[in-house]
């Protein structure tokens, strides 16, 4: 069992930056894949970025490629989503997602609003 808590969301203006964090806690777990999803009002939840253990490179949605960057800490207990050059269409609830040897876990989400 893994508990995930996102933080770092807020209200920003177009062109600004935000860094989201995801903290994982639990007992006897190893996270093989970290991912960030987002869901805008009236739209389906979409994959924004993901990364896995090993040499596989990170993946990004076309809409955020070149602007967003996913990373993790060396202890493999935290994930970060650096968001630059934010646009109004980036407004959504952002969710942390992980895959372990047991299955998939989701965080509660953090709101990101980009508006002038």
User: Is residue 32 predicted with pLDDT exceeding 90?
Assistant: yes
pLDDT of residue 54: 79
Burial 57-66 (b: 16+ CB within 10 A, else e): eeebeeebee
pLDDT of residue 53: 86
Mean pLDDT for 104-109 is: 97
Both structure tokens of 22? 């995801």
pLDDT of residue 114: 98
């Amino acid at each position: 069992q893994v508990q995930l808590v996102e933080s770092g969301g807020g209200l920003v203006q177009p062109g600004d930056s935000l860094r989201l964090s995801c903290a994982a806690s639990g007992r006897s777990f190893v996270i093989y894949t970290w991912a960030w999803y987002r869901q805008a009002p009236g739209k389906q939840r979409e994959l924004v970025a993901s990364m896995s253990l090993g040499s596989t490179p990170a993946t990004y949605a076309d809409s955020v490629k070149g602007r967003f960057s996913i990373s993790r800490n060396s202890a493999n207990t935290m994930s970060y989503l650096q968001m630059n050059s934010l646009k109004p269409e980036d407004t959504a609830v952002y969710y942390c997602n992980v895959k372990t040897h047991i299955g998939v876990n989701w965080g509660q989400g953090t709101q990101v609003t980009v508006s002038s």
